[in-house]
Amino acid sequence: MWRRAGRLPGASSRVAALAVALLASLSRCSRPEPSEPGAAVASALSPYFGTKTRYEDAQPGLGPRAAEEDREGGACTPVQLVALIRHGTRYPTAKQIRKLRQLHAVLQSRGPGAGDDGLGADLARRPLWYADWMDGQLVDKGWQDMRQLARRLAARFPALFSRHNCRSRLRLVTSSKHRCVDSGVAFLQGLWQHHHPGLPPPDDVADMECVPPRINDKLMRFFDHCERFLNEVEKNTTALYHVEAFKKGPEMQKILNKVAATLQVPVNNLNADLIQVAFFTCSFDLAIKGIKSPWCDVFDIDDAKVLEYLNDLKQYWKRGYGYTINSRSSCTLFQDIFQHMDKAVEENQRSQQVSSPVVLQFGHAETLLPLLSLMGYFKDKEPLTAYNYKEQTHRKFRSGQIVPYASNLVFVLYHCKNAKTPKEEFQVQMLLNEKVLPLAYSQETVCLYEDLKNHYQDILQGCHASEECESPKMNSTSDEL
Ligand SMILES: *[C@@H]1O[C@H](CO)[C@@H](O)[C@H](O)[C@H]1NC(C)=O
């Protein structure tokens, strides 16, 4: 039952998880089962898994929704949907698997003084089930994440996701990474299922009666193409100073000592990276297999909060507000989204058919975070540093809630007719992970398209990746023109 729980998507998996937790607590009273009582622990730590959070854990209460054809009593009709989507649940990367093996080797080399029972011995005996070929690929659960997301969005916007639009007017752009291309294909499978209820989706893209995915790394992996970002952040050994300092700080040191004692290994054989990979393994086992991993038993909630902060610190300095170039490098993508909406507005005004009623863009957490930062979302008053862990307890910048697996930012463009005046207008509503995202600057839940463009006009007109991403020292004269 509990192995199956992980494969059931959406609401049903939460019901199943609840049932599992219930069973687990029941069995605890009657008969102790080594693997079962942990269900409660896994769900207790899962709010702190950062970018390795399951979509359903970040979004409790996602059910089918009524179609939104009739917002404001029929006055507004959706004319276009542009969605930026992170790939679904994935395997660990080769690098993470390598570190896990390293940690496993540390456990296996525990001295003869260390006992034969206890968590350290148990983890040392357990074979690792991760293999090199997995390297960041989309897992079954990830395919499901995408099919389910597609079906929910199609049910919510049935006219936009019509069969006809799918066949000829859908645009699907993706990062070249395997997990993103697969996510795009899985999404198309979900649309196919929406149009053919009850039938299993085809495996081959050619049979999906939909426009196939196109790869565009310049757009979806802009961070790989931004020279200045690469020089100043990605390849710069001091750019992540706060991440490194936090790894050596008192909060991490406390966990190191505690974990060393729990696992009965010398504290010198451990470091922050190995602790982090143990925590990741807890999250991967839950997200991929739907099981409560024994690796979770290494940590309590306070540890998980510290490790969440470590993960958020890295995202903050590498993808968020830490450096301006992190978000500025995404302005081409931001502009691309608005170009699609501009075109739809123009076509609609000329009473033409909108040529791209659905635009789907598949990328990474590293694609979404800079764009959300560019738009001013989840910005805390104080920066996240190595030294203000306590003060940042209630921070907005919490990657598990912003960019879990399958996270998505959707722009819905509406055409509205005002009954009293002959005036027609275009409105935009944004959804983050399928929930209305109020505007960062006004907290309104919907706004005029013109107002949105005005608010972001500096970015729309004044941000040019070719200039932003130029490394300053290479071209200091042209800067002064
Ligand atoms: C690396 O990052 C540090 C800290 O932000 C900065 O002072 C330095 O200029 C950066 N180095 C390069 C080559 O950009």
Position 66 scores a pLDDT of 63
174 or 478, which is more confident: 174
DSSP per residue, 247-261: HHSHHHHHHHHHHHH
Instruction: Give me ligand 1 centre to Cα 320, in Å.
Output: 16
Q: How many residues does the chain have?
A: 481
Q: Helices 301-318 and 250-263 meet at what angle, rounded to 10?
A: 130
Percent of the chain with pLDDT strictly greater than 70: 84
- Rounded Cα gap, residues 20 and 36, in angstroms: 8
Mean pLDDT of the chain: 88
Q: Is pLDDT of 60 > 80?
A: no
Burial per residue of 253-286, b for 16 or more beta-carbon CB atoms within 10 angstroms, e otherwise: eebbebbbeebbbeeebbbbebbbbbbbbbbbbb
Q: Residue 430 is inside which H or E element, if any?
A: strand 424-432
Residue found under tokens 């907290």: 443
Position 418 scores a pLDDT of 74
Does residue 115 belong to any structural domain of this protein?
A: no
Q: Helices 301-318 and 365-374 meet at what angle, rounded to 10?
A: 70
In this structure, the residue with its CA closest to atom 6 of ligand 1 is 239
Instruction: Give me ligand 1 centre to Cα 385, in Å.
Output: 16
Give phi and psi for 349, each to the nearest 5. Answer: -65, -35
Instruction: Give me ligand 1 centre to Cα 471, in Å.
Output: 12
Average of per-residue pLDDT across 36-50: 67
Count how many domains the chain has: 1
- Note whether 99 and 277 are within 8 A (CB): yes
Average of per-residue pLDDT across 91-101: 95
12, two tokens:
């049903």
Atom of ligand 1 nearest to the CA of 241: 4
Q: Which of 227, 229, 232, 474 to mutate to test the pocket of ligand 1 (most atoms within 8 A of CB)?
A: 232
Q: Which residues contact 279 (CB under 8 A, 6 or more apart)?
A: 295, 298, 299, 303, 304, 307
In this structure, the residue with its CA closest to atom 11 of ligand 1 is 232
CA-based nearest residue to 176, from 145, 203, 136: 136
Q: What is the DSSP letter of 241?
A: H
Instruction: Give me ligand 1 centre to Cα 309, in Å.
Output: 23
Model confidence over 178-237: pLDDT tens digits? 999 999 999 999 999 999 999 999 999 999 999 999 999 999 999 999 999 999 999 999
Cα 84 from chain centroid (whole Å): 11
The lowest-confidence range among 267-281, 361-375, 408-422 is: 408-422
Does residue 103 belong to any structural domain of this protein?
A: no
Amino acid at 265: V
Q: What is the DSSP letter of 204?
A: S
CA quadruple 346, 351, 352, 355: dihedral sign: positive
Instruction: Give me ligand 1 centre to Cα 237, in Å.
Output: 8
Model confidence over 333-353: pLDDT tens digits? 999 999 999 999 999 999 999
Instruction: Give me ligand 1 centre to Cα 366, in Å.
Output: 20
- Rounded Cα gap, residues 9 and 16, in angstroms: 10
Does residue 346 belong to any structural domain of this protein?
A: yes
Give me the CATH number covering residue 354: 3.40.50.1240
CA-based nearest residue to 90, from 143, 147, 136: 136
Give phi and psi for 375, each to the nearest 5. Answer: -85, -5
262, two tokens:
């729990």
Atom of ligand 1 nearest to the CA of 232: 14
Does residue 357 belong to any structural domain of this protein?
A: yes
Position 59 scores a pLDDT of 75
Task: Report the phi/psi class of residue 358: left, alpha or beta, with left for phi > 0 and alpha for psi in -120 to 50.
Answer: beta
CB atoms within 10 A of CB 444: 11
In this structure, the residue with its CA closest to atom 12 of ligand 1 is 232
466, two tokens:
């070719």
Position 383 scores a pLDDT of 98
Q: What is the pTM of this model?
A: 0.88
Which residues pair with residue 85 across a beta bridge?
Answer: 362, 408
The lowest-confidence range among 93-107, 109-123, 198-212 is: 109-123
Q: Is pLDDT of 393 > 80?
A: yes
In this structure, the residue with its CA closest to atom 13 of ligand 1 is 232
**What is the span of the domain harbouring residue 392?**
12-91+138-235+309-468
Does residue 251 belong to any structural domain of this protein?
A: no
Cα 156 from chain centroid (whole Å): 21
- Rounded Cα gap, residues 306 and 34, in angstroms: 27
Alpha carbon separation from 399 to 60, 279, 368, 402 (Å, rounded) = 16, 16, 11, 5
Does residue 446 belong to any structural domain of this protein?
A: yes
Percent of the chain with pLDDT strictly greater than 90: 78
The lowest-confidence range among 22-26, 184-188, 363-367, 456-460 is: 22-26
- Rounded Cα gap, residues 276 and 298, in angstroms: 11
Model confidence over 141-170: pLDDT tens digits? 999 999 999 999 999 999 999 999 999 999
Query: Residues lining ligand 1, judged by CB closer than 6 Å?
Result: 231-232, 236, 238-239
- Note whether 468 and 325 are within 8 A (CB): yes
Give phi and psi for 35, each to the nearest 5. Answer: -90, -20
Model confidence over 67-85: pLDDT tens digits? 665 565 668 999 999 999 9
Q: Is pLDDT of 30 > 50?
A: no
Which residues are tagged catalytic?
87
CA-based nearest residue to 191, from 65, 358, 4: 358
Average of per-residue pLDDT across 292-301: 94
Q: Is pLDDT of 37 > 60?
A: no
Q: Is pLDDT of 299 > 90?
A: yes
Radius of gyration of the chain (CA): 24
Q: Is pLDDT of 114 > 70?
A: no
In this structure, the residue with its CA closest to atom 8 of ligand 1 is 232
In this structure, the residue with its CA closest to atom 9 of ligand 1 is 232
CA-based nearest residue to 339, from 423, 411, 446: 411
CB atoms within 10 A of CB 475: 10
Residue found under tokens 């898994």: 49
CA-based nearest residue to 424, from 450, 391, 457: 450
Q: Which of 233, 236, 240 to mutate to test the pocket of ligand 1 (most atoms within 8 A of CB)?
A: 236
420 or 284, which is more confident: 284
372, two tokens:
């959300």
481, two tokens:
């023109």
